[in-house]
Amino acid sequence: MKVTLINANTIKPPLSPIGLLYLSAYLKSKGMLVNVVDLCCANDIPAALSSMGKNQPDIIGVSIRNIDAAQMKMSKYFLPDVLTIIKLVKEQCPRTPLVLGGAGFSIAPVEIMEMTKADYGVVGEGEAALYALVQGLQTGSDVRAVAGLIFRDGDGKIRINPPQNSSTAFLRALPFQDLDAVNYSLYYNQGGMASLQTKRGCALDCVYCTYPLIEGKNYRLIPPAHVVDEMEYVLSRGYDYFHFSDSVFNVPREHALQVCREIIRRGLKVKWHAYMSPQGFDAELAGVLAAAGNDGVLFGVDSCSESMLGHLGKGFHKRDIAHACEACRVHGLEFSFHILFGAPGETMETVEETLQAIDDLRPTAAFLTQGIRVYRDTPIYKRLVSEGKLDPGRSLLEPYFYLSEELGPRFPGRVHEYAVARDFVFSDTTAKSPSTDEAVVALYKRNFRGPCWKILKELKRVSAGR
């Protein structure tokens, strides 16, 4: 079977499509002919899709990574562009079965199926479900029982089968990501990092997050030796700066320690960045991270107010943030905060508590955003519906944000003024624009490596003449 997979995510700086690369590797390992059409790297999207049509694929999969940027002040709604891409695909290959998938699709699969008139969809992880679908279409067998599949039944109604999360055994046997499926060096040179994963799933309960709904709440841990085998493989291709795209790298803590110790044992000369939780982040962990080449920790704390950490469902306390920062400092690790203002319960007092904590804890960088993007079935969605603040009949495809009613008119100006006065703080009212994105890509092209927050700090320092 000839399978064409289309990466419909065109965000810049480019993010390597790690899910699609695993999907490609898996299907190839099953003997399928896979062609990836990467629209992120395409200069001319209609031309790229036109040449795809000439290959006459037996099935086409379109990966929708995000439907929007999930940022209130820098709101971008990607779905209209994705719909245009799907329309072009259908014009090129009107009789070829079309299947949609990806994290963005999995957020609102039925609505997107209705909008696009696609034949099938896959919710959650794609490898096993897409393979079962392709096999079924090849042999003419009934595919209606495939876990995670969305399809139209005989009566035209859209049916959805609950997804089945991958097992640890499945992930252990999963081939390394298919770096040759895309222009990987372009991703590396314009995005600054190669991607890896050490697990799937997230057991935490951040109230706004769709990740546990899509990938499941149970962790499937990839054996440390397998993770580092893949790291060595990517390293052998000339890429030595990594980003672990796990939900949170250091939960479970023991698994993170084992991965790091394996990197140390093999003596790999690598640098890497990851999202981390302050939960259980102590000096022992920081020391092992540093020895394994960690070059930056992004704490997605969302708030430094004790009451807001509770409202946000973060599962750690203000004192844990302070301990984690101290542990980083002891071992010379650079760390940053992502802050998300405006969840239910946020007041000017909790905002000031967070701003004061940022001054006290002095992360390398802090990025302040405001407004909670509400997605269906998340804890915040259920709370707002139960409090009568959100109509459950409302479509949430177009970006919808919640901002605490208890924040007064002083709030936006206060955050803006706070960020402007500090060279290590960025707010969504000041920091990002298309020209900033271009400046970030330009620095990556000049061999800068590492996370965006390090670049933003450098840009702010240069523009302020410091």
Q: Report if residue 212 touches ligand SF4, rule: CB under 6 A.
A: yes
User: Per-residue string for binding with ligand SF4, 347-386, x by CB under 6 A?
Assistant: ----------------------------------------
Instruction: Report which of 117, 88, 82, 109 is spatially closest to residue 7, judged by C-alpha positions.
Output: 82
Q: What are phi and psi of 302, to 5 degrees?
A: 70, -35
Contacts of 267 (CB under 8 A, 6+ apart): none
- Print the binding letters for residues 117-156 with ligand SF4: x by CB under 6 A, - otherwise: ----------------------------------------
User: Residue count at the site for ligand SF4 (CB under 6 A)?
Assistant: 9
Q: Enumerate residues 6+ apart whose C-beta is below 8 A from 356.
A: none
Which CB sits closer to ligand SF4, 248 or 339? 248
| Minimum gap (Å) between residue 146 Cβ and ligand SF4 | 26
Nearer to ligand SF4, 302 or 428 (CB): 302
Q: Which stretch binds ligand SF4 (CB under 6 A): 104-112, 178-186, 209-217, 456-464?
A: 209-217
Nearest distance from residue 379's CB to ligand SF4, in Å? 10
Nearer to ligand SF4, 108 or 204 (CB): 204
| Closest to 320 in 3D by CA, of 270, 271, 288, 279 | 279
Smallest distance from ligand SF4 to CB 202, Å: 3
Which of 175-183, 200-208, 372-380, 395-403 is the region at the interface with ligand SF4 (rule: CB under 6 A)?
200-208
- Rule CB under 6 A: is residue 224 a binding residue for ligand SF4? no
178 contacts: CB under 8 Å, gap ≥ 6: 21, 22, 24, 25, 28, 34, 36
Residue with smaller CB distance to ligand SF4, 88 or 204: 204
CA–centroid distance for 95 within its chain: 32
The window from 199-207, 223-231, 374-382, 398-406 that contacts ligand SF4 (CB under 6 A) reads 199-207
Minimum distance, C-beta of residue 315 to ligand SF4, in the bound complex (Å): 8
Rounded CA-CA distance 248/256 in Å is 10
Q: Does 211 bind ligand SF4 (CB under 6 A)?
A: yes
Q: At its nearest, how many Å lie between ligand SF4 and the CB of residue 428?
A: 17
Query: Which of 70, 133, 214, 248 touches ligand SF4 (CB under 6 A)?
Result: 248
Q: One symbol per residue from 292 to 331: x for binding ligand SF4 (CB under 6 A), - otherwise; what is it?
A: --------x-------------------------------
Q: Would you count residue 202 as binding ligand SF4 (CB under 6 A)? A: yes
Least distance (Å) from ligand SF4 to the CB of residue 206? 3
Which residue, 89 or 107, has its beta carbon nearer to ligand SF4? 107
* Shortest distance, position 170 Cβ to ligand SF4, whole Å: 20
- Please, what is the minimum distance in Å from the beta carbon of residue 275 to ligand SF4? 7
One residue of 3, 194, 206, 324 binding ligand SF4 per CB under 6 A: 206
User: At closest approach, how far in Å is the CB of 209 from ligand SF4?
Assistant: 3
**Residue choice 247, 350, 354, 370 for contact with ligand SF4 (CB under 6 A):** 247
Check: CB of residue 132 under 8 Å from CB of residue 143.
yes
204 binds ligand SF4 (CB under 6 A): yes
Q: Where along the sequence are the contacts to ligand SF4 (CB under 6 A)?
A: 202, 204, 206, 209, 211-212, 247-248, 300
